[in-house]
């Protein structure tokens, strides 16, 4: 893609929360101005459960200068919003979105789970701002299980349960 060129692609959303997605996130952050990531509650393709559309523009200067743009994380109900003809821009899409978050690109890290910014940006921001965000690894050893499926975070009331009571 030539500098200033634009792209949009629809991919599985799994890279947003998995370690193997770090290289893609690093590539996007280093080489592009990422304008938006749009997640869909409904299936876009019958064989792909969760998908996300990436809107990006090739950076003209890829000397690791921090990007100055904001990334729109948009949770949409259906992909119809992209094909209905009434949406001319990412800004139009945010007006009809289920939820949105606007994050400076320079603050995003490849190691971070970006999917939380699509699924529950307000909850995440509130917890993070209050300074009560404790990594689950400080309380327990996260493991994939039938019940937990190793969720990204849990909401635990202060003082309850005790760390040794978490399974």
Q: What is the pLDDT of residues 101-158, one digit of tens each?
A: 888 999 899 998 888 888 776 676 676 677 776 777 777 776 665 555 555 556 666 6
Lowest mean pLDDT among 15-19, 45-49, 116-120, 138-142: 45-49
Backbone angles phi and psi of 73, in degrees to 5: -100, 115
Whether the predicted pLDDT of 70 surpasses 80: yes
**Backbone dihedral angles phi then psi of residue 78, each to the nearest 5 degrees:** -140, 165
pLDDT band at 162 (very low <50, low <70, confident <90, very high): low
Residue pair 94/60 in contact by the 8 Å Cβ criterion: no
CA distance 1 to 55: 13
Confidence of residue 76 (pLDDT cuts 50, 70, 90): confident
Ramachandran quadrant class, 102 (left: phi over 0; alpha: psi -120 to 50; beta: rest) = beta
């Amino acid at each position: 893609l030539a500098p200033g060129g634009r792209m949009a692609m629809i991919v599985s959303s799994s890279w947003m929360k998995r370690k193997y997605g770090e290289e893609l996130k690093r590539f996007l952050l280093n080489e592009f101005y990422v304008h938006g990531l749009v997640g869909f509650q409904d299936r876009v393709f019958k064989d792909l459960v969760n998908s996300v559309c990436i809107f990006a523009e090739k950076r003209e200067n890829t000397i690791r200068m921090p990007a100055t743009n904001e990334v729109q994380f948009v949770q949409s109900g259906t992909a119809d919003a992209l094909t209905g003809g009434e949406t001319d821009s990412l800004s139009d899409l945010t007006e009809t979105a289920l939820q949105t978050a606007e994050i400076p690109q320079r603050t995003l890290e490849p190691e971070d789970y970006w999917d939380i910014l699509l699924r529950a940006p307000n909850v995440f921001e509130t917890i993070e701002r209050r300074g009560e965000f404790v990594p689950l690894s400080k309380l327990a050893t996260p493991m994939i299980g039938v019940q937990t499926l190793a969720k990204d975070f849990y909401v635990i009331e202060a003082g309850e349960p005790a760390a040794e009571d978490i399974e």
